[in-house]
Chain A
Amino acid sequence: MTSEADKPARSSWVLWLPFALVLSLGVLIWWGLSSGGESRLVESRWIDKPVPEFDLPPAMPGQPGVSSRQFSDGKPRLINIFASWCIPCRVEAPQLEALRDRGVIIEGIAIRDRPEDLARFLADHGNPFVGIGADQQSAVQIALGSSGVPETFLVDGDGIIREQIQGVVTAEMVPEIVARLERMER
């Protein structure tokens, strides 16, 4: 008799379960759709890995290009992915100058840029780069797992990429970047 009485109670609990699952799925989808209004930034997976092999020609006359061979000389440095047509890069320029003034080596990679546009950009916003490589077809950008401009990679003295910064390097980030690069020195 008791087992008969138990049965409906148990089955009603089980029958509510699919409903609860569908409801929670609905909430999850609603949350996903409403919170992801702007497209997400795709982070690079090429972290804690050596700088991929590349050899970019100079983007500016009288200034070297960027080659992956430079990166294992014991000195940590930044790779800054930028372009003259990139509007946030103008906002970032003063911070790169500040980093250069504090002794940070910055290698520039100019994405899909024309020499005359780049020259004007550097004249207006400063040229904190030790070298600028011309990445006309975003090949090095893709090899680094970078998905936009500006982006900055922290590379240690062994040529291993340690960190990716997506978007503009802000003034508050400057001391932290300097400290991290100092710690990477060997």
Chain B
Amino acid sequence: MIRFLAWLVAVIVALGAMLAPPPAHGQSGLPPAPYAYKQIDDPVKEEQARELMHELRCLVCQGQSIADSDAPLAGDMRSQVRERIAAGETPDQVRSWLVDRYGAWVTYDPPLGPETFLLFVAPLLALLFGGWLVLGRLKRAPDTEKETPA
């Protein structure tokens, strides 16, 4: 009985914690940037901007792209991407502008460079190593046949 009561109290406390207002969070009260949630007029450019936004990493909510995040900074970055592309910059220019500031880390499609060299070369090396192993096995196969007469 006592155990049941303790359990009941725990459930009520947990529910209360869920219903209580969240603690005051560091969050701006300003409305979002003009193009955070609004598309640009040119559909071709909007498509380019959207594609780029999906491969740019949100700085505060890491693991999400700026297209997926509702963080104010992500909204401000979306607006910048749209404004720059609307003004005639190419997605590559916008991407490298951001990479200059935050490093290749900011994009999910990192460029090939000294930092990311291993990332691109590692699969190739693994494949070569695997091929070398397989070749070794194939060459040895006739030998083993000789050793174990049918």
B3 on the A face (CB < 8 A): no
Bin chain B's interface residue count: 20 to 34
B148 on the A face (CB < 8 A): no
The docked-state distance in angstroms from the alpha carbon of A40 to that of B59 is 9
Question: Which chain A positions have C-beta within 8 A of B77?
Answer: 138, 142
Q: Mark B116-133, 1 if CB is under 8 A from A, else 0.
A: 000000000000011001
Interface residues of A in 1-59 (CB under 8 A from B): 7, 11, 14-15, 18, 39-40, 42-46
A171 on the B face (CB < 8 A): no
Find the residue from A18, A43, A147 having the highest chain B CB count within 10 A.
Answer: A147
A147 touching B30 by the CB < 8 A rule? no
In the complex, what's the smallest C-beta–C-beta distance from A111 to chain B, in angstroms?
A: 7
The docked-state distance in angstroms from the alpha carbon of A86 to that of B30 is 13
Q: Footprint of A on B, CB under 8 Å?
A: 24, 26-30, 33-34, 59-63, 72-73, 76-77, 79-80, 98-103, 105-106, 129-130, 133, 136, 140, 143
Could you name 18 residue pairs across A and B whose Cβ atoms are closer than 8 Å? A11-B136, A14-B133, A86-B26, A87-B26, A112-B28, A112-B29, A136-B33, A137-B33, A137-B34, A137-B80, A138-B72, A138-B73, A142-B80, A142-B98, A144-B101, A145-B100, A147-B60, A148-B73
